[in-house]
Amino acid sequence: MEKKINLIVEGGKATSGPPLGPALGPIGINAGQVVAKINEETKAFSGMKIPVTVIADTSSKSFKIEIGSPATSELVKKGAGVEKGSKEKGQIAGNIQMEKIADIARKKRGTSLGKSIKDIAKEVVGSCHSTGLTVNGKNAREIIKEINQGKHDSLLGET
């Protein structure tokens, strides 16, 4: 029988504390091994919160780990080199380059509802707006207009 445990961990910093340890202990799976595997697979996302699903097989005492995609807001903050977004409307927390937006859009391709990289890039720019980030020093509305006009097609890989 399979048991799924969903959690959010900081990349590379999972612990055997709640909710993981108490969920794995009663079914006889070594929490230390699970934590080590999660940390190994999420270390590239250091400083970001990552959704993780542990699928434990209670009969064979084995487990699988599925690493989700970090929230877009986490990716744009990391891309801009800021720890926190702006809490005040209109306050700028930082700036991110369009090249980073294109990279994030490609990473989000499988999990986004956007049909094209252009659509996904506009979603990412929207997250920048919500987080208080400018893109190439401009506000999100200006960048979305530029994307619609095709000014960033070479960067987004669409012609």
Beta bridge partners of 137: none
Nearest to 77 by CA among 11, 111, 39, 127: 127
CATH code at 72-156:
1.10.10.250
Neighbouring CB atoms inside 10 A of 12's CB total 17
Which distant-in-sequence residues (6+ apart) come within 8 Å of 93 by Cβ?
A: 80, 82, 84, 85, 86, 131, 132, 133
Q: Which residue has the tokens 């094209």?
A: 116
Query: What's the pLDDT score for residue 145?
Result: 96
Q: Please name the CATH architecture into which domain 2-67 falls.
A: 2-Layer Sandwich (3.30)
Query: What's the pLDDT score for residue 131?
Result: 92
Domain ranges of the chain: 2-67, 72-156
The answer for 120, left when phi > 0, alpha when psi is -120 to 50, beta otherwise, is: alpha
The residue type of 16 is: S
Query: What's the pLDDT score for residue 159?
Result: 44
Query: What's the pLDDT score for residue 45?
Result: 82
Answer yes or no: are the C-beta atoms of 14 and 63 closer than 8 Å: no
Mean pLDDT by 10-residue block, N- to C-terminus, for the chain (159 residues)?
90 89 88 92 85 91 89 90 83 94 89 89 94 94 95 82
